[in-house]
Structure 1
Amino acid sequence: MKKILVIEDEELVRHSLIDVLEAEEFEVVSAENGMIGIGLVHKEKPDIIICDIMMPQLDGYGVLTALQQDPLTNTIPFIFLTAKADKADLRQGMQLGADDYLTKPFTRTELLNAVNTRLEKHNAIYSQLHTKIEELCDTLIEPVPDEFLAPLKAIKSAAFSLYEIDTTTRSVTNQEILAVAEKLDWAADRIERLMQNFQLYIELEIIANNLQQIKVMRQQRSSNAADLIQQIVLAKAKTAQREADIKLGLQEATVKIADMHLQKVVEELVDNAFKYSLPGTSVGFLSLIKNATYIIYITMDNDHEVNTKFFNWLNGKNHEQSHAMTGLGLAIARRLVEIYEGEVYFGTIRDGRARVRVTLPCVL
């Protein structure tokens, strides 16, 4: 049963409202002025509020202003009652956050239509929000377990090595100590990166449902895209000891994406290009401008078996398993590209080599 709070100083009008609403099986609580009404909002937690404007002590505008300042009450549907139909009064109420107006005198049908319409709209918004939250929760819990496995295995391996050293009588070499330290250091770095990626992933999933924030983000520009890509490729190739394998052919452009986000996209894709290709085989990085679109191609020899599910994910298939298969990094890269109105796609070229294509809008 939906609960309605009626705030009205005229006793006859107040009781008339109560009678009509109770006849429709609403639960009704009432207050004769704004001060009492605000107290009842917090105590009774109504589903909708019907409030007169002209009242002693605290008028309807004051009630609405107070409720709008509290995050616990600012989403409750609010209908004003007024004896005036002046456009300035209507505009003032709407600017404060009122959902609807009823001008006295009003009919029973007008009252019930206004109440039911606002309740239905509120329920629809709540239902959509609840669905979004459920989808977000499902999305967020998918990638964590597999991402943790590799560093946890390294920590367990290091612990086992220490245990073996402790249970033997032989002397321990510096190389053995260094090997254990390297395992622990690698695991710590992986977990730190995972935490950073997980935080960013949560932020991006929230942003993906915020059109206003997306609009602001799409005003960002990366003015030296080719230079940024080249720096990342050279640094990653050096770390992976693949400097001799890379081939570069990059066209400079101003791309419609923030520098930090383009950097993140490229870092994740370059990491995986080296991961999914064998040392000694070429990895090419090409970029060009076509029809106001900046296209980045990453081409790699596919001489060993590559996980088919990984590539299906890049093409939008088996999305429910994508995070577990490919990790947070690629999920972040894809979401970032999508936010900036781009696409990530995998395919093969004529000679059988694998190729990832990223498209982003650019400034001509």
Structure 2
Amino acid sequence: MPAQILVIEDEVQIRENVAEWLRLNGFEVETAADGMKGVTRAVQVPPDLILCDIMMPGMNGHQVLETIRGNQALAAIPFLFLTGKTDPVDQRYGMTLGADDYLTKPFTSENLLLAIESRLQREALRKASLRAQLTEQHLKVIQSTGHEYNTPLNGILGFANLLADHYDEFDRADKVSMLDMIRVCGLRLKRSLDNVRLMDTLQVMTPSHEAYPAFTTGKTHIDADFMEQLVRTVERRQDEQIRRSIDVQPAQLGIGEENFQTIVDELLDNAAKFSNPASLIAVTGLTLGSMYRLSISNEGRFFKPEDISQMAPYRQFGRKQYEQQGFGLGLSIVQKLVELNKGTLTIESQDNRWTTVSVQLPIVPVNV
């Protein structure tokens, strides 16, 4: 299918000549006589490339470019200026706005064709790379979801079938134990589903999003009792006891309680999941000026320094070496929530296999 090009030019002769030449070279061409008509046409039928004059009455070329780049559906379209201005300052300004190239009038048809083909080829490579990334991400999601959903579902169905088919053969203790395992599997499945939904929301979170205030406002009082409750929640979901030491200074943090609980839950879950059996998990909280640092340390798998910069949704480190639960969303969720609330996330892993994950969040006065 031939590429479609939109030519925005107020000079009739130039507009018609450029359009005719492009059609002769196999392109589909739409034209607009001014900037406003050009933007309207681009919104109606997004082109593969835009050629635009700069000096036009009404909306000039720079304003057209700003409008195009500000529209999410059009922002990636290659944009070439057609201009009689040769001032380097003017060209730099256009490039800062996101222009891909300049063609100075008068230009030859060959130069025009080379510039267009070069930009279209670059855009084709960009799209191919994006498709490859999407395919890779899709495969990661499929691989992780198949295991992560089926494992707790199999547990739920397996124990439910045993109870339904052999109920009278089990004593009360066995029945309670199986019901408890159904509960544990249900909690794990719910958490997996909740995390996928939350990550989808956080990835598109901007100040204009209707849910933005829910993720960026609120207060939380932290103390030892509060942290102990969160540890017990993780214990119930993982169905195992966690050896812990909790030493946190009381404080009021500038983050909503639900969001803070999500952060702590993910960090505790990771610490318990990747700790050596029966090893200690240390939880410390300290006021540092206007910020509060919460650190969770565990002895277990070494976290490589290069892994920190590669954190991403559905990315699990050491998946080939270790069997592990989850989608690899926990740290990405924590990072997003911490950043939305003006905080920072750091991870330090020592040679003795102690790993400490710390979040720093703003403190707000108790009376605020």
TM over 0.5: yes
Partner of 2:307: 316
TM-score (normalised: structure 2): 0.61
For 1:358, what is the secondary structure of its paired residue?
A: strand
For 1:234, what is the secondary structure of its paired residue?
A: helix
Q: Distance in 2 between matches of 1:130 and 1:184?
A: 40
TM-score (normalised: structure 1): 0.62
Residues 1:65 and 1:262: Cα distance change in structure 2 (over 3 Å): same
What displacement does 1:53 show?
0.8
Residues 1:86 and 1:202: Cα distance change in structure 2 (over 3 Å): closer
What displacement does 1:183 show?
3.4
Q: Give the aligned residue type for 1:266.
A: V
For 2:307, what is the secondary structure of its paired residue?
A: coil
Partner of 1:43: none
Q: Which of the numbers 327, 344, 347 marks the counterpart of 2:347?
A: 344
Q: Distance in 2 between matches of 1:315 and 1:295?
A: 23
Q: Distance in 2 between matches of 1:284 and 1:266?
A: 13
Q: Which of the numbers 297, 313, 331 marks the counterpart of 1:334?
A: 331
Mapped contact 1:337–1:344 kept (Cα < 8 A) = no
Q: Distance in 1 between matches of 2:348 and 2:65?
A: 46
Q: Distance in 2 between matches of 1:4 and 1:74?
A: 9
What displacement does 1:192 show?
1.9
Residues 1:288 and 1:299: Cα distance change in structure 2 (over 3 Å): same
What displacement does 1:191 show?
1.7
Residues 1:224 and 1:251: Cα distance change in structure 2 (over 3 Å): farther
Mapped contact 1:295–1:360 kept (Cα < 8 A) = yes
Residues 82-101 of structure 1, C-alpha deviations (whole Å, 9 max, x = no match): 8x645853355335438344
What displacement does 1:182 show?
3.4
Partner of 2:51: 79
Partner of 1:27: 26
The answer to whether structure 1 residue 102 and structure 2 residue 103 are counterparts is no
Partner of 1:89: 60
Residues 234-279 of structure 1, C-alpha deviations (whole Å, 9 max, x = no match): 3433774899954322135576766543321211222344554666
Q: Give the aligned residue type for 1:220.
A: T
Q: Where do residues 150-229 of structure 1 align in structure 2 (5 Å cutoff)?
A: 150-159=151-160, 161-162=162-163, 165=166, 173-204=171-202, 206-207=203-204, 220=216, 223-224=219-220, 226-227=222-223
Sequence identity percentage: 16
Q: Distance in 2 between matches of 1:211 and 1:138?
A: 31
Q: Which of the numbers 253, 269, 272 marks the counterpart of 1:271?
A: 269
Residues 1:75 and 1:361: Cα distance change in structure 2 (over 3 Å): farther
Q: Where do residues 40-79 of structure 1 align in structure 2 (5 Å cutoff)?
A: 49=30, 51-53=31-33, 61-68=36-43, 70=44, 73-74=45-46, 76-79=48-51
For 1:342, what is the secondary structure of its paired residue?
A: strand
Mapped contact 2:254–2:361 kept (Cα < 8 A) = yes
Count how many residue pairs are aligned between Structure 1 and Structure 2.
313
What displacement does 1:158 show?
1.3
Mapped contact 2:234–2:269 kept (Cα < 8 A) = no
What displacement does 1:212 show?
9.8
Mapped contact 1:221–1:255 kept (Cα < 8 A) = no
For 1:328, what is the secondary structure of its paired residue?
A: coil
Partner of 2:144: 143
| Larger gyration radius, structure 1 or structure 2 | 1
For 1:27, what is the secondary structure of its paired residue?
A: coil
Q: Give the aligned residue type for 1:79.
A: L
The answer to whether structure 1 residue 236 and structure 2 residue 227 are counterparts is no
What displacement does 1:203 show?
4.1
Residues 201-236 of structure 1, C-alpha deviations (whole Å, 9 max, x = no match): 3445x459x8999xx89x936754634x75143343
Residues 49-105 of structure 1, C-alpha deviations (whole Å, 9 max, x = no match): 5x2416xxxxx633531432x5xx4464322358x6458533553354383443597
Residues 1:65 and 1:258: Cα distance change in structure 2 (over 3 Å): farther
Q: Distance in 1 between matches of 2:185 and 2:242?
A: 28
Mapped contact 1:102–1:111 kept (Cα < 8 A) = no
Q: Distance in 2 between matches of 1:359 and 1:9?
A: 56
| Unmatched segments (≥5 aa) in structure 2 | 70-78, 85-104
Q: Where do residues 245-324 of structure 1 align in structure 2 (5 Å cutoff)?
A: 246-252=244-250, 259-274=257-272, 276=275, 283-290=281-288, 294-299=292-297, 308=301, 311-312=302-303, 316=307, 321-322=316-317, 324=319
Q: Cα RMSD over matched residues?
A: 4.8
Residues 161-193 of structure 1, C-alpha deviations (whole Å, 9 max, x = no match): 247627xxx666555544444333333332222
For 1:143, what is the secondary structure of its paired residue?
A: helix
